[in-house]
Structure 1
Amino acid sequence: MLPAAAQHRVFDEVKEGERLVVVATNVAETSVTIPGIKYVVDTGKVKSKEYNFKNGSEIYKVQWISKASAVQRAGRAGRTGPGHCFRLYSSAAFNNIFDDSSPSEISKVPLEGHILLLKSMDIELSAFPFLTRPNDDALNGGQRCLEILEALTEDGEVTPLGKAMAYYPISPRHSKMLLTVIKMLNKEKSYKRPNLVLAYAVASAAALSLSNIFVSQFEDSCTENHDLIDGNSSAPVHGEVIDKQDRVIKEKKVRASCENFSSHSSDALSRAYVLRLYELSKSRLHFCKDNALHPETMHEISELREQLLKLVFYHSGVSGGEFSWIHGSQEDVEHDWRADVIPLSLDEEGLLCRAICAGWADRVAKRIKGSKNQYQTCLSNENVFLDRQSSVSKIAPEYLVYSELIQKKKPYMHGVTCIEPEWLVDCGRVLCKLPKGSAPYYDCVSDKVLYNVTPTFGPHLWKLPEHCLPIDKTEFKGAVQAFAFALLDGKVLRCLRPVRAFMAEHPRTVLKPVAANRERVQNLLLKLGEKKIHSRAMLRAVWSKNPNELYLEIRNWFRKNFHYKFKDIWVEMLREAVY
């Protein structure tokens, strides 16, 4: 986390009468040569990250190094002259405990991105010659994640959404979030600032890709003197040892900074807001110092945001269709991002939170009753905790999604976003169980045949609010039937409503009794099913090609003494539906 100028001080010439002492992390095992190093003290230990593919948690463990790492560490001594390595372990430990080499990186990271890339290239995982083949848990977990993100079908085929996600060289979770925002904004035209919403989505994706931007309360300030970043290498790197009082002051500063930028709905949106202020500030270094932020992390996130925005517009034209941005150019998005800072509205925050939910639909947690910060994850029985520094810690919502699960003394969630439980039916459909609901009915507002159902979510069968769902393809017959009766009741076309009112007053003179002639019911249903009509849009498409379609089937619902008026009604129906 040191600035570049501070890192370079290790290569400066050592003054006479002084000794250079380097306390190094694993990065010292690389081929970097620090001049003048004669002695190396090797503890034989390393703190390495392990990834749990079953619950998605990360944990840092102190472990023995490998033989290859031990040789690499010893090689740091005497690069420019005689040297010696002091190993704080026995030869028996080296020979009997140490592995020959360190575990490969592919065994420590989620694999959904690699799997999606291979699948999009029509490469079968079973046939791909991995240098180090991942274990089955890692591969199965990656495929399951892509199924939940709707990038793969149950048969392992790449969906159109998955193909669009594969265009982005980022995690599938982040690309799913970005594409969801684009799709929702293209579909819903009521948002007044779509370019700003997209800018926040890109900034949130960049912020979630890197570590926490705030300086830890137990961390020495590496940039206490920011002249280092301007190239003044003669300035001191580290401040004096921070005493208890200084640490309390630093903790209060970090806490106040987190509170100032908090959106109370999402850590990702809070970080995006910080990034926006950071890029608009006159002095970015002073902004980081005043708000307890990591300058290097903020700079990296800022660069990543610009790269992601370019990728969105580049791949928007490649993927095409519903994932192409239609509200403006890249310059328009940058202009709105750098305009006067006006907070996001509740609707805009809700759209972004819903998109984040779509990207992390398998990382849902529900608050345990009677507890404020203790949650249960949807895919395991493990209880996890909400970090007190999170933007949403004061709200402690019932449902949330998280981007990371870090195992410390307890498993803590990071990158938390509040969600509404009804979003899970759309965002995490794969994990939902939909019991048999009410009878299907036609909704004239959405122009769909819907049914009410009370779904459950995940292995724990969390009960979600009642939801209106479009009828499934397997229930096509029910959809046609519901639409047929809605059509004849005047719910589809307004011109039929006064006719229905008249028929209600004079049922014997106008309309044939239903029980007397079932044939006309079947004729209408068969015709609608043949033409696959169960919405006003489908009816409009059919009548645009053939205005006489369904004429006899609908006319037969009326008695013969009313047929002379039906021609006028038919003309009005066509005018209303088509024009």
Structure 2
Amino acid sequence: MYSLDVVQISRVQADQRAGRAGRTRPGKCYRLYPISIYQKEFLEATIPEIQRSSLAGSVLYLKSLDLPDINILKFDFLDPPSRESLEDALRQLYLIDAIDENGQITDVGRIMAELPLEPSLSRTLIEANKLGCLSQALTVAAVLSAEITFRSTRSKDMEGKRKRQELPDGSGWGDHIQLLQIFESWDRTGYDPRWCSDHELQVRGMKFSKDVRNQLSQIIQKIAKGSTDVQAKKEQKSDPDYRKLRRALCVGYGNQLAERMLHHNGYHTVGYRAQLVQVHPFSVLEGDEYGKLPVYIVYHELINTTRPFMRNVCAVDQSWIKPILKKLERLDMNKLSGGSSGSKDPEPLEDKQVSSPKKAMDVKQSDVDSKIQAARERYLARKGKK
């Protein structure tokens, strides 16, 4: 399971930052921490990204290459990630239907590999296209990819807080719905930058999300079943509670589910290695009349600050997660990686396979000769056409 953690920089990063601060001439660098921390607590070099980030996209790409007899857990990476990271990536791809229980890439997985998004958002778009809410899902995916943020304001700036409160509240269903409503409100103004400024939104981030959405719309046109326009009236009228969009998010974030505790609003993640987490304080997710939050939610990411928080959450129905829970029950990690079930190492060859090496060499040489002959014939055929 991946989360955004606040960690110390390495000594290499510290030296690089000192260089950035004094490029024009020699000088002194004053660091805001003791030299003992620099020498004893900082790592010598930064950990390679492949060893500290999600590998779901990389594993999906490897699966899409259709390489024969590839075992993901034994793949020869330049900077080998941990086995736990690879298993987590395989588990995520399996739960969102990118690979089957034997580790083979599915038709859904091949489409996901073509989209320039993280697998969870790619799967959300495919499911939304099936359910008829592609336009809304495109907006959510674009805004999450662009990571729009509010402009920084002072804690005592009551006017700034009031402007933010005027923004849509996600209808109580969660942050994904709020992001959708914010973008749709901006679209109705003709993408006026002043609207963003008036509501304390960073104009640059909003413009970037608009560009990302346009790009995604062009890429997904070949599989789109409906309109990709921002204001898709048919989607809004037929789904006032955003059930279709929330269901698509549930499918896309099948590996990022959380269940509320029985007696309070704390949550624990569903699946492998459950973790106690809480909804981020800035979330617009609302509870019922008794103040209890939804029983099941999906989250976009985990952030570890004072405690683990789920950021960008959305309420989902219990009936939607039943297929995901069934998948967890029959999960076989060795099969997902590309190996055979029940054995981690390949079985030794039988005696009859190694008893006649001369025959095997003859067969191999025959294959080489046939390939050379086929290549020669293709060359002569092309030459004849000229």
**Normalising by structure 1, what TM-score?**
0.51
Query: Deviation of residue 387 (structure 1)?
Result: 2.9
Query: Deviation of residue 148 (structure 1)?
Result: 0.9
Query: Deviation of residue 136 (structure 1)?
Result: 1.0
Which of the residues 138, 141, 160 maps onto 1:205?
Answer: 141
Query: Deviation of residue 338 (structure 1)?
Result: 4.5
**SS of residue matched to 1:362:** coil
Larger Rg: 1
How many equivalent pairs are there? 322
Which of the residues 295, 298, 308 maps onto 2:206?
Answer: 298
Which of the residues 103, 107, 115 maps onto 1:160?
Answer: 107
Task: Decide whether the 8 Å contact of 2:148 with 2:206 is kept in 1.
Answer: no
Q: Deviations over 1:265-314 (max 9, x none)?
A: 2321221121122133146222112222222221221111111111111x
Residue identity in the other structure for 1:284: D
Query: Deviation of residue 247 (structure 1)?
Result: 2.9
**Alpha carbons of structure 1 residues 354 and 432: separation in structure 2 relative to 1, 3 Å:** farther
Identify the residue that residue 76 of structure 1 maps to in structure 2. 20
Query: Deviation of residue 128 (structure 1)?
Result: 4.4
Identify the residue that residue 90 of structure 2 maps to in structure 1. 143
Q: Deviations over 1:516-543 (max 9, x none)?
A: xxxxxxxxxxxxxxxxxxxxxxxxxxxx
Q: Deviations over 1:198-252 (max 9, x none)?
A: 211101112233435344xxx33xxxxxxxxxxxxxxxxxxxxx4x6x3344334
Identify the residue that residue 319 of structure 2 maps to in structure 1. 422
**Alpha carbons of structure 1 residues 155 and 339: separation in structure 2 relative to 1, 3 Å:** closer
Query: Deviation of residue 110 (structure 1)?
Result: 0.9
Residue identity in the other structure for 2:79: T
**Alpha carbons of structure 1 residues 96 and 265: separation in structure 2 relative to 1, 3 Å:** closer
Q: Give, in whole Å, the separation in 2 of the partners of 1:277 and 1:429.
A: 39
Q: Give, in whole Å, the separation in 2 of the partners of 1:161 and 1:429.
A: 19
Cα RMSD, aligned residues only = 2.8
Identify the residue that residue 114 of structure 1 maps to in structure 2. 58
Map 1:150-189; keep pairs closer than 5 Å. Answer: 150-185=97-132
Which of the residues 80, 97, 104 maps onto 1:133?
Answer: 80
Task: Decide whether the 8 Å contact of 1:112 with 1:172 is kept in 2.
Answer: yes
Query: Deviation of residue 129 (structure 1)?
Result: 4.0
Query: Deviation of residue 374 (structure 1)?
Result: 1.8
Q: Give, in whole Å, the separation in 1 of the partners of 2:224 and 2:94.
A: 25
Q: Give, in whole Å, the separation in 1 of the partners of 2:32 and 2:302.
A: 33
Query: Deviation of residue 132 (structure 1)?
Result: 1.5
Identify the residue that residue 257 of structure 1 maps to in structure 2. 166
Task: Decide whether the 8 Å contact of 1:206 with 1:304 is kept in 2.
Answer: yes
Identify the residue that residue 278 of structure 1 maps to in structure 2. 186
Deviates more, 1:379-388 or 1:300-309: 379-388
User: Structure 1 regions of 5+ residues with no counterpart?
Assistant: 1-52, 186-196, 221-241, 317-323, 434-579
Query: Deviation of residue 175 (structure 1)?
Result: 0.9
Task: Decide whether the 8 Å contact of 1:77 with 1:84 is kept in 2.
Answer: no
Q: Give, in whole Å, the separation in 1 of the partners of 2:254 and 2:235.
A: 29
Q: Is residue 100 of structure 2 the alignment partner of residue 100 of structure 1? A: no
Task: Decide whether the 8 Å contact of 1:213 with 1:271 is kept in 2.
Answer: no
**SS of residue matched to 2:6:** strand
Identify the residue that residue 176 of structure 2 maps to in structure 1. 268
Query: Deviation of residue 362 (structure 1)?
Result: 2.3
Q: Give, in whole Å, the separation in 2 of the partners of 1:412 and 1:127.
A: 33
Query: Deviation of residue 158 (structure 1)?
Result: 1.0
Q: Is residue 216 of structure 2 the alignment partner of residue 308 of structure 1? A: yes
Q: Is residue 4 of structure 2 the alignment partner of residue 58 of structure 1? A: yes
**SS of residue matched to 1:416:** strand
Query: Deviation of residue 429 (structure 1)?
Result: 4.0
Query: Deviation of residue 427 (structure 1)?
Result: 5.0
**SS of residue matched to 1:143:** helix
Identify the residue that residue 310 of structure 2 maps to in structure 1. 413
Task: Decide whether the 8 Å contact of 2:73 with 2:86 is kept in 1.
Answer: no
Identify the residue that residue 279 of structure 2 maps to in structure 1. 386
Greater relative contact order (CA < 8 Å, ≥ 6 in sequence)? 2
**Structure showing the higher helix proportion among its residues:** 2
Identify the residue that residue 299 of structure 2 maps to in structure 1. 402
Identify the residue that residue 362 of structure 1 maps to in structure 2. 255
Map 1:485-496; keep pairs closer than 5 Å. Answer: none
Deviates more, 1:353-362 or 1:88-97: 88-97
Q: Give, in whole Å, the separation in 1 of the partners of 2:93 and 2:43.
A: 33
Task: Decide whether the 8 Å contact of 1:178 with 1:201 is kept in 2.
Answer: yes
